[in-house]
């Protein structure tokens, strides 16, 4: 009788069996020693069922960031209890970029929890980009995102947007790598989607899943590649790209916290095997340098906290330098529009910062490695024209403290003219 009672008790307490047949293609195989893991969730569980203190803190952190950067989602005029208010032409739309990885799946769940709040209006759209670069892994990512959106969050086809990268999606560019092409393609598709759903009074923003660890990686990459002191900061919580505002509600959370959040909620995600490939600089920083730094700092949390403090101080310094530069706006000389004139009468820190910003402006905001700024600065007093490559087939032309930016074609044309002058002079003297 005791054994029978014990057996009955164990059967009563055991969780019901969970079938895996709903996701036949979501479990990818192993390549080398890297297993592409999918964390299995309970498909029919409510996404707002579990509310531990930790989960509440994570949700409040994401909500505070989103409300700060997209104030229009909060509609204080709505009556108490008016959750799930009908979406209208004034409802802000948030395009959540979801790859299927842990970060973006946490973002999706957090945005869903936010849109269910009282007095919140948020038209949630999910955007998934299938680059088709990882075969069956890419298929599995796409299937997971679509299935979760429909079965767990009740999003219909009009709110789930899947884009495939093919030969017609992005014209070949010999000066760009695969990552740059993919980034440009995603930016173009997001901008087109935003224009398609926006209205005259409707705000549309994109939400991406960058978190505190990504900000640490960004600072380290800037340090290794070279940048100005005032640019040695992490990722911005709000930025505009191609006319579309992007917000990052997870910057106040670490990757460890996001994984724990998913695990406590028993939510699914997939691992991207390409994140382990050390051919990419960011992966080297993430998988080699940062673990060593975390060990020295004492813990991942300690490292994030120290870089967050560095980020805060750099932003304060940047604001100070900005205010000093604004006192004496001197981006170009009066008689030569588009030419930057270096002054030795100004503090070197401010003058270098002005030069750095001028070069970046000439590149339409693209990255300018600081070694190029150093080289231009070193050539500023030259009495002969010097050319310094600043990237993207552009050159800074320096002579007697004056700097302008020309294309490679223009440089080659001017070089040919100069060579012809020298040949002619030699013939006349010969």
Token pair 């969050």: residue = 153
108 plus 201 within the same structural domain: yes
Distances (CA, A) of 386 to 199, 344, 377, 383, 419: 50, 19, 11, 9, 15
Note whether 102 and 57 are same-domain residues. yes
Quickly list DSSP for 190-238. HHHHHHHH--TT--EEEE----HHHHHHHHHHHHHH---GGG-----SE
What string of pLDDT tens digits covers the 430 residues of the chain? 544 444 444 444 444 333 333 333 333 322 332 333 444 444 444 444 557 899 999 999 999 999 999 998 886 545 444 455 567 777 899 999 999 999 999 999 999 999 988 778 899 999 999 988 888 999 999 999 999 999 999 998 999 999 998 755 554 444 457 778 888 999 999 999 999 988 656 899 999 999 999 999 999 999 998 888 898 999 999 999 888 999 999 999 999 999 999 999 999 999 988 888 888 899 999 999 999 999 999 999 999 999 999 999 999 999 999 888 877 655 444 445 689 999 888 899 899 999 998 999 999 888 888 899 999 999 999 999 999 999 889 999 999 999 999 999 999 999 999 888 888 888 887 6
Residues 342 and 401 in one domain: yes
Q: Do 416 and 383 share a structural domain? A: yes
Write the CATH number for 158.
Answer: 3.40.50.620
What is the C-alpha separation between 365 and 358, in angstroms, rounded?
Answer: 10
Q: Is residue 393 part of a domain?
A: yes
> Model's pTM, two decimal places?
0.77
Same domain? 128 vs 199: yes
| CATH number for position 393 | 3.30.465
Domain count, the chain: 3
The answer to whether 209 touches 107, Cβ cutoff 8 Å, is yes
In this structure, are 355 and 233 located in the same domain? Answer: no
Asked whether residue 303 falls in the same domain as residue 406, the answer is no
Residues in the chain: 430
In a domain, 73, yes or no: yes
Residues 216 and 362 in one domain: no
Structural domain including 40 reads 28-211+248-273
Q: Is 8 inside a domain boundary?
A: no
The verdict on 302 and 360 lying in the same domain is: no
Scan for tokens 């990757």, then name that residue: 255
């Amino acid at each position: 009788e005791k054994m029978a009672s014990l057996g009955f008790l164990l059967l009563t307490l055991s969780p019901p069996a969970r079938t895996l047949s709903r996701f036949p293609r979501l479990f990818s195989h192993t390549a080398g020693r890297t297993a592409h893991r999918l964390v299995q969730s309970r498909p029919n569980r409510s996404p707002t069922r579990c509310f531990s203190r930790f989960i509440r803190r994570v949700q409040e952190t994401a909500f505070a960031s989103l409300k700060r950067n997209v104030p229009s989602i909060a509609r204080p005029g709505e009556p108490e209890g008016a959750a799930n208010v009908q979406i209208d032409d004034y409802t802000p739309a948030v395009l959540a970029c979801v790859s299927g990885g842990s970060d973006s799946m946490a973002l999706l769940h957090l945005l869903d929890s936010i849109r269910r709040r009282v007095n919140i209006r948020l038209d949630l759209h999910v955007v998934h980009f299938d680059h088709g670069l990882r075969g069956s892994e890419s298929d599995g990512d796409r299937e997971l995102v679509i299935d979760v959106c429909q079965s767990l969050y009740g999003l219909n086809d009009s709110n789930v947007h899947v884009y495939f990268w093919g030969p017609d999606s992005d014209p070949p560019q010999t000066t760009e790598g695969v990552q740059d092409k993919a980034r440009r393609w995603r930016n173009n598709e997001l901008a087109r989607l935003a224009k398609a759903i926006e209205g005259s009074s409707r705000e549309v923003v994109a939400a991406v899943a960058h978190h505190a660890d990504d900000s640490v990686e960004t600072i380290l990459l800037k340090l290794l590649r070279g940048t100005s002191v005032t640019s040695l900061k992490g990722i911005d919580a709000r930025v505009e790209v191609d006319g579309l505002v992007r917000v990052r509600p997870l910057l106040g959370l670490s990757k460890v916290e996001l994984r724990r959040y998913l695990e406590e909620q028993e939510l699914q995600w997939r691992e991207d095997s390409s994140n382990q490939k050390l051919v990419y600089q960011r992966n080297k920083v993430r998988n080699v340098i940062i673990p060593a730094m975390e060990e020295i700092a004492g813990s991942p949390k300690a490292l994030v906290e120290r870089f967050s403090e560095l980020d805060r101080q750099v932003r304060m310094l940047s604001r100070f330098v900005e205010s000093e530069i604004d006192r004496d706006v001197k981006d170009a000389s009066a008689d030569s529009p588009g030419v930057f004139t270096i002054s030795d009468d100004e503090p070197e820190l401010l003058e270098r910062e002005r030069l750095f910003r001028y070069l970046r402006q000439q590149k339409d905001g693209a990255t300018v490695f600081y070694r190029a700024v150093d080289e231009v600065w070193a050539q500023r007093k030259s009495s002969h024209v010097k050319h310094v490559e600043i990237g993207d087939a552009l050159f800074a032309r320096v002579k007697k403290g004056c700097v302008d930016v020309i294309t490679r074609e223009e440089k080659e044309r001017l070089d040919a003219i100069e060579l012809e002058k020298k040949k002619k002079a030699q013939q006349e003297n010969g």
